[in-house]
Chain A
Amino acid sequence: MKKQTAGSLARKEAGWAYFFISPWVIGFILLTLGPMLISLYLSFTNYSLSSTVAPNLKPSLDNYINMFTQDPKFWHSLWVTILYSIVSVPLTLFFGFVVAYLLNLKVPGLPVWRTLYYLPSVTPAVAGAILWGIIFNPSFGIMNWFLSLISIKGPGWLSSQQWALPALIIMSLWGVGGGMIIYLAGLQGIPTTLYEAAEIDGANGFQRLSHITLPLMTPIIFFNLVIGIISSFQFFTGVYVLTRGGPADATLFYNLYLYNNAFRYNAMGYASALAWILFVIVLVLTLLVFKSSSFWVYYEGELRK
């Protein structure tokens, strides 16, 4: 008798649980799992919304074979994205860390500094891109004006094949504030007793940085690194507003190429294949984070209050 009641209670509790999580479950089936399976299938077809393409919905490996063997733009967009991320991500990490480190030296006016550095990170992407487009104007922009002050004739930036990507990288540095806030929280979470102990042992500032601060921050730095690389693969708005991939594909980012295939060339099947390759790349990078979990065990226990 008693057991039955407990059983029905448990069933009632489970019922409530499923009731409450149902919005997510329904959304997952309709907006994630279903579309995922369709997308996987489409990636093996030449599906298109336009009526001019003869549909061949029999699955084949053509998209993937073409992508790897006959589509230089695929490799090029991959290269552009990787080039951007291996320059922009470490620079953003470095400057974000430096600013956080300086702020953590107990300078006066911390909230004001934090606000100043963080403000660009909340700027709407379209507005930010328009602003930087004007700054990079080769004839009248302030970027070339600053360069002219030190007697450098500035390049054509966004209209130059060599300088368009560097211009976007400079633009990305404007967002150091986002990472800075995360580092600052990490730095503030390092127990001061560690520094005190090091000081008693006679460690100087540099030794404290290299033996305490940096090792304890590696998980956060590494995590930000991976997230940064992943978001390079999602980079879209800035490049869409400023260059649309030009000049001469110099800034053809992976995500933009995917967008072009899906919505400009109407090659939805091929775009789906690009999306799945993107997924694989992101998955590999994420696995790297998990592989490194031995790093993070320490701070998981230490930083949480």
Chain B
Amino acid sequence: MFKSSKRRELIIRIFALIGLTIGAALVMMPLVWMLLSSLKPPEQGNKWPPEWLPMSAEKVTINGKSLFVYAMPVDGQIKHLALLSKQGAMGTFIDPLNPQNTYQLTVNEGERVTTIGPRWQNYVDAMTKVPFGRYLINTLVVVVFGTIGTVVSCILVAYGFSRFRAKGLNWIFLVVLATIMLPAQVTLIPTFIIFKAIGWYDTLLPLIVPAFFANAWDIFLFRQFFMSLPLELDDAAKIDGAGPLQTLWYIILPQAKPVIITVTIFSILYAWNDFFAPLIYLQSEKNWTISLGLQMFNAIYRNNDALLLAASVVTLVPVVILFFVAQKYFIQGTVVSGIKG
């Protein structure tokens, strides 16, 4: 009986692996396609059936000239010949192996020889056809200040909510929690009007300043963590003459590293990916962030898939690096936000 249940477990596990493989293939396929297609020459985007691998035309250099190689039917055989010049439908071909042999052939009878070859130029183009550096700097400004603002303000506020007694504090905390349910759209329009009235339209300020006023979600995360630390620590620090700020700095924060990292990561990710606020607040190109710049790039180069995907990959890479560096905190953060909400 034991043996059969073990075997059954093995079979179940094999089926699970098969299912997971199929699912993972489906999920990863778009990303693989994205990476491969970002390296294709522009004309390869309009091929049917689609080709997965980036192919580039093969060239040979003859007498200092770089020539395309064609596969041409010559006397019932396919020969790889370099196209020297074209006269209407006819072309003059040279055999790269015996440059003295030339042929007059109809170009359309053969086709260009392609080999697997990534076109890295797409990445250069994607980053130079638009002021990509400018977008990047703007985004980094938002990411850095937004994250500092979020982390610092949420730590202070959570510290206030978790380590002190004061009248009405619990009620205020309930209001904090209630704001989690408030859809941003409800405050969107007046906030927009106010920011516009004080001259913040078309600046990065509306994307940065609100972060300094703490948000319910991260306050909640920090508070949960601070509450798990024994209050005796604070008392001991107090006896040693530490004020509340010193206690926070020397006693609480050194232990709070995991939460700080989690909040930092999600704050970076949020600022990097945010599209809506840049869309409504940033007008001139010199102020655009990466995500807004990418959307505008998308509007201009709609017919050049390879270029679009190269630009998209550029915005994706930092996020993926961040993910791999801090995977543990990513997963923790998602789980905590999902379960404890």
Contacts and interface: CB of A to CB of B under 8 A. Distances in A.
Interface of A: 10, 13-21, 23-28, 30-32, 34-36, 38-39, 42, 49, 95, 98-99, 102-103, 105-107, 111, 113-127, 130-135, 137, 139-142, 145, 148, 174, 176-179, 181-182, 185-186, 205, 220, 223-224, 227, 230, 233-234, 236-237, 240-241, 255, 258-259, 262-263, 268, 271-272, 274-276, 278-279, 282-283, 286, 303
B114 to A, nearest CB: 17
Contact of A275 (B29, B188, B196, B316): B188
The 7 tightest CB contacts between A and B, nearest first, are: A27-B213, A20-B160, A14-B166, A182-B338, A17-B164, A35-B190, A127-B312
Contact of A18 (B159, B160, B273, B335): B160
B275 A126 contact: yes
B275 A263 contact: no
Given A16-B244, A282-B181, A140 B30 contact: no
Contacts of A111: 327
Contacts of A177: 27
B339 A122 contact: no
A282 B214 CA distance: 22
Contact of B214 (A27, A42, A117): A27
B298 interface: yes
A81 B204 CA distance: 31
A133 B302 CA distance: 10
Contacts of A276: 186
Given A26-B213, A113-B24, A263-B280, A182 B164 contact: no
23 contacts: A16-B160, A20-B160, A23-B156, A39-B186, A49-B196, A105-B12, A119-B31, A120-B27, A121-B334, A125-B273, A127-B316, A140-B45, A140-B46, A140-B47, A140-B48, A176-B27, A223-B339, A227-B338, A237-B276, A272-B189, A275-B188, A279-B183, A286-B181
B320 interface: yes
A283 B181 contact: yes
Interface of B: 12-13, 16-17, 19-20, 23-24, 27-31, 33-34, 37, 45-50, 153, 156-157, 159-161, 164-167, 169, 172, 175-176, 179, 181-194, 196, 210, 212-214, 219, 244, 269, 272-273, 275-276, 279-280, 290-291, 294-295, 298, 305, 308-309, 312-313, 315-316, 319-320, 323-324, 327, 330-331, 334-335, 338-339, 341
